Chain A
Amino acid sequence: MQDKRLIIINGLIVGLLAVLLVKFGNPVNMGICIACFIRDIAGGLGLHRAELVQYIRPEIIGIVLGAFLMSYGKKEFNARGGSSPLVRFVLGFIVMIGALMFLGCPLRMVLRIAGGDLNAVVGLIGFAAGIYLGIIFLNKGFTLKRTYTLNKAEGFLFPAINIGLLILLLAAPAFIFFSEKGPGSMHAPVFLALAAGLIVGGFAQRTRMCMVGGIRDLILFKDWYLISGFIAIFVAALIGNIAIGKFTLGFVKQPVAHNDALWNFLGMGLAGFGSVLLGGCPLRQLILAGEGNIDSAITVLGMLLGAAFAHNFKLASTPDGPTPNGKIAVILGFIIVSLIGYFNIEREVNVKVKGGVKVEG
């Protein structure tokens, strides 16, 4: 099918670009990681003071602007919002807590597996379990209600904020923090990272690539479309990693990772659970925010604040493993997402199926 070909090409490009970014300076298995990079941006802006993870990542800016330009060019840019914004903010916050327990978003999870990090396979099992949990709520009629068309100017705000971030990155005023060591100090040249982001954002806008959607659609509808992109990323990154000598199979001493299986499972489970209720993974939220979706922009802001809290409150794992605070936060996260799921079940879903609608000619 022709449309599946495009998402496979999209996946191959994402996988290869991720390896290229590692080759040119990004941390290993972290060519692109939406959660880690939003966390780095939170640090760069001084929202948290974890000195090892502070940088304004141009990949994020590029992804948002790529999606914005592509959607604008294809006349799909559309300012809309109003679908349970605060619930989405909280879910975004919690998805970030789960991702930083595991140390990576769903996209980085695939890249980690492609680098031979078997802890990420445990994460993938947790991720699928979290998605399955979310699907139970979806099948019971979970909904965040409808969106509404907004003033077009509001849709431009989020891309504009990203241009502001780009200016801060390039101008590097004294109040911006850039790590001098650790993962935050490791990065590909700005324009390479920005260009990679633009390509990924533009492509993913066309194909609707989504890590959560891949597994969700496979379980719900036996639809292989989105997961084909997921598999293509894995294949391309695997080949790329072997080619540049960054493939190391095993559980221990994997780059920017820990090997506590239970908490890798639960962290990614929480990220999957929250993302399914949001309707998309962190990458997809960025793309939608670039297209003018204010609900997704709010979700990204939730992730940004979640990342800041994760480091200020010592919730994020380190390569030594999860923290006690992080474990409590993940358990609380499961409880809160379950409550959000329960209280947003639409009781009379059948009302939506109306017989004999009157239509004016």
Chain B
Amino acid sequence: MLKLKGELKLKGNLVDARGRSCPEPVLLTKKAIEASPEGVKVLVDNVTARENIKRFAKNSGYNVEVVENEEGILLTLSR
């Protein structure tokens, strides 16, 4: 089960892209924001995916908030 600390409480859509290698996390994120343009949360587990999604989000006009813990890296994309 997905265990995350309190401050990572999730609402709305979550994309679990952990373990996926480049460029799949970004593609999954892209598909998710096409489905819910108001914003999504993406969970990844490596720095490359984090950087790629951050870049993609900025290029697409989204703000990104990043929280990291031992479970992974959670990126919150919002307008």
Specify the chain B residue showing the minimal Cβ separation from A217: B23
Known: A223-B59, A295-B21, A361-B9. Contact between A353 and B35, CB under 8 A?
A: yes
- Out of A225, A280, A349, name the residue touching B31 (CB < 8 Å): A349
Q: Given A221-B56, A359-B4, A360-B1, are A208 and B20 also a contact pair (CB < 8 Å)?
A: no
- Contacts A138-B23, A144-B21, A295-B21 given; does A223 touch B16 at CB 8 Å: no
Interface residue total, chain B, C-beta cutoff 8 A: 39
Q: How far is the CA of A359 from the CA of B21 in the complex (A)?
A: 25
- In the assembled complex, the Cα of A153 lies from the Cα of B10 at a distance in Å of 35
Cβ 8 A contact of B30, one of A221, A279, A295, A356: A221
Instruction: Return B43 CB to nearest CB of chain A, in Å.
Output: 9
Select B55's contact among A78, A225, A280, A350, beta carbons within 8 Å: A225
CA distance A222 to B27 in the complex (A): 13
- Determine which residue in A144, A356, A359 has the highest number of CB atoms from chain B within 10 A of its CB, and name it: A359
CB nearest neighbor in A for B43: A357
Given A221-B59, A353-B35, are A143 and B20 neighbors across the interface (CB < 8 Å)?
yes
Residue contact A208 to B21, C-beta cutoff 8 Å: no
Contact of A138 among B3, B8, B27, B35 (CB under 8 A): B27
Does B73 belong to the interface (CB within 8 Å)?
no
Return the CB mask of A328-361 against B: 1 if under 8 Å, else 0.
0000000000000000000001101111111111
List A contacts of B1 (CB < 8 A). Answer: 360
Q: Which residue of the partner chain B has the closest CB to A346?
A: B24
Query: How many Å from the CB of A136 to the closest CB on chain B?
Result: 13
**Interchain CB contact under 8 A, B14 and A354:** yes
B59's closest neighbor in chain A, by CB?
Answer: A223
Chain B nearest CB: distance from A206 CB in Å?
Answer: 10
Contact of A360 among B4, B13, B15 (CB under 8 A): B4
Determine whether B78 belongs to the interface, using a CB cutoff of 8 Å to chain A.
Answer: no
**Given that A208-B51, A223-B55 are contacting pairs, would A357 and B2 also be in contact in the complex, using a CB cutoff of 8 Å?**
yes
Are A352 and B56 touching (Cβ within 8 A)? no
Whether, in the assembled complex, A148 has its beta carbon less than 8 Å from a beta carbon of chain B, the answer is yes
Chain A contacts with B in 1-48, Cβ cutoff 8 A: 3
Q: Does A357 contact B27, Cβ atoms closer than 8 Å?
A: no
Question: Which residues of chain A are near B12, meaning CB under 8 Å?
Answer: 355-356
Given A83-B19, A138-B27, check contact A76 B47 (CB 8 Å).
Answer: yes
A358 to B31, CA, bound (A): 22
Given A83-B21, A147-B19, A353-B36: 6 more A-B contacts, CB < 8 Å: A220-B27, A223-B55, A223-B59, A350-B35, A353-B32, A360-B4
- Provide a sorted-by-A list of 26 A–B residue pairs whose CB atoms are within 8 angstroms: A78-B46, A83-B19, A83-B21, A138-B24, A139-B27, A143-B20, A146-B18, A147-B19, A208-B22, A220-B23, A220-B27, A220-B30, A221-B26, A221-B56, A222-B59, A225-B55, A279-B21, A279-B22, A295-B21, A352-B15, A352-B28, A353-B15, A353-B31, A353-B35, A353-B40, A355-B13
Instruction: Give the 6 A-B CB pairs with smallest separation, nearest first.
Output: A146-B19, A361-B6, A357-B14, A147-B19, A279-B21, A279-B22
